[in-house]
Amino acid sequence: MFADVPATVEIRNEARVHLWYEQKFGVRCAPHPSTEAAIDSFAATTCCVGIRAEPGQRWRVYAPHGLADVFGLVVRPNPLLAPGHVYETKTARWREQWPALTVLPWPTSPDRRE
């Protein structure tokens, strides 16, 4: 479907994340009641973007934190679900691919996941 797109397109089944998340990341993840709820839990707010084709071929964009960071190449942490080490691992990999990224640090206050 995406063979002619000059980028890697990843498709994920967020409905099954709760089945393996705790074993992989050490944090319990309740089943997501919606695609939007799954997107809200991504480790970086910059990644909290979803696009859906609706009936009539209308496109719906879900970006609860806006798109300014996406276009500004800023990665901002989202400590809602993921622990800090998940964010650090992801951002290290992203920096290798996109050296121009500005990666903001994971919050260290006691109310955030370390």
pLDDT tens, N- to C-terminus, the chain (114 residues):
788 888 887 777 888 889 998 898 888 999 999 989 999 999 999 999 998 888 887 889 999 999 999 999 999 999 988 889 999 999 999 999 999 999 999 998 655 455
- Is pTM beyond 0.85? Reply is no
Domain assignment present for residue 74? The answer is yes
Across the strands, what pairs with 53?
Answer: 59
Domain assignment present for residue 47? The answer is yes
The range of the structural domain enclosing residue 86 comes to: 14-103
Q: With contact defined as beta carbons under 8 Å apart, do 43 and 87 qualify? A: yes
Q: With contact defined as beta carbons under 8 Å apart, do 80 and 48 qualify? A: no
Residue type (1 letter), 57:
Q
Domain assignment present for residue 86? The answer is yes
Domain assignment present for residue 21? The answer is yes
Q: Give dist(CA 114, CA 108) in Å, integer.
A: 7
Quote the number of domains for the chain: 1
Q: With contact defined as beta carbons under 8 Å apart, do 26 and 83 qualify? A: yes
Instruction: Give Cα 70 to chain centroid, integer Å.
Output: 12
Domain assignment present for residue 111? The answer is no
